[in-house]
Structure 1
């Protein structure tokens, strides 16, 4: 599976890239901003993406997610505060809350990989909050 990582914290991006590759997938690009993410989607379309909410250009990860959803590219948010996600999860499969464990990310990646390949027989791992099961954001 060709994966894009949208994360502005380079150490986290490198760790996630390592996990993706260890699971047998390839990383087509790492973006730290919404503009970089759009460039990767245009130049090397991924089959799946991990997207943080807060990027170098602000809280633009949700906009990146909506762009991916429009292009029918499945993705998951990876964020320290999933309560900031909109009710519709901006079209994401779900979210993984930071900090995550290596085992939790590996289990989520295996589940996501199966889903992308059309196999929905695996139960979702505890590390992945599915969009329909997610706690709703707190409204002020």
Structure 2
């Protein structure tokens, strides 16, 4: 998959990029602020995105998520504070809570890839490292 990373902590973004590339994915770029993220999404139209809620310009990851949802780009939040996610998850498939383990991240990425590229994937098979949005849990 072609993946975009929206993360204001450079080391976390590089770590995530490395894990995704090791799993065979192409990272099309990463952004640290909402405007950059929205521009990157429009320019690259990734297959998937990982979005932190708190970016350089504040808690604007939710706005980025809504923009991705409007563009029909599936994504998950990656955040240290799940309570900041709105009830509707802003259209996200779910969330991965920081700090995450590499094993948990790998399991979530494998599940998300299957979910995005296949049909009729049971949400009940989601790994514990992925908090599934209520809209997808039905």
Separation in structure 1 between the aligned mates of residue 35 and residue 62 of structure 2, nearest angstrom: 13
Task: Measure how far apart 1:121 and its partner are.
Answer: 4.5
Question: Is 1:12–2:12 an aligned residue pair?
Answer: yes
Indicate yes or no: 2:99 matched with 1:99: yes
1:128 to 124, 127, 130: 130
2-side partners of 1:131 and 1:38: how far apart? 22
In 2, distance between residues paired with 1:47 and 1:39? 15
Helix, strand or coil: the match of 2:24? coil
SS of residue paired to 1:27: strand
SS at match of 1:57: coil
What is the Cα deviation at residue 39 of structure 1? Answer: 1.4
Q: Equivalent residue of 1:50, what SS?
A: strand
Compute the displacement of 1:60 (Å): 0.2
Structure 2, gaps ≥5 residues long? none
Q: Secondary structure at the match of 1:38?
A: helix
Report runs of 4+ in structure 1 exceeding 3 Å deviation.
none
Return the TM-score normalized by structure 1: 0.92
Q: How many residues were matched structurally?
A: 133
Query: CA offsets, 1:52-80, max 9 Å, x none?
Result: 00000110000000000011100000000
What root-mean-square deviation, in Å, do the aligned CA atoms of Structure 1 and Structure 2 show? 1.2
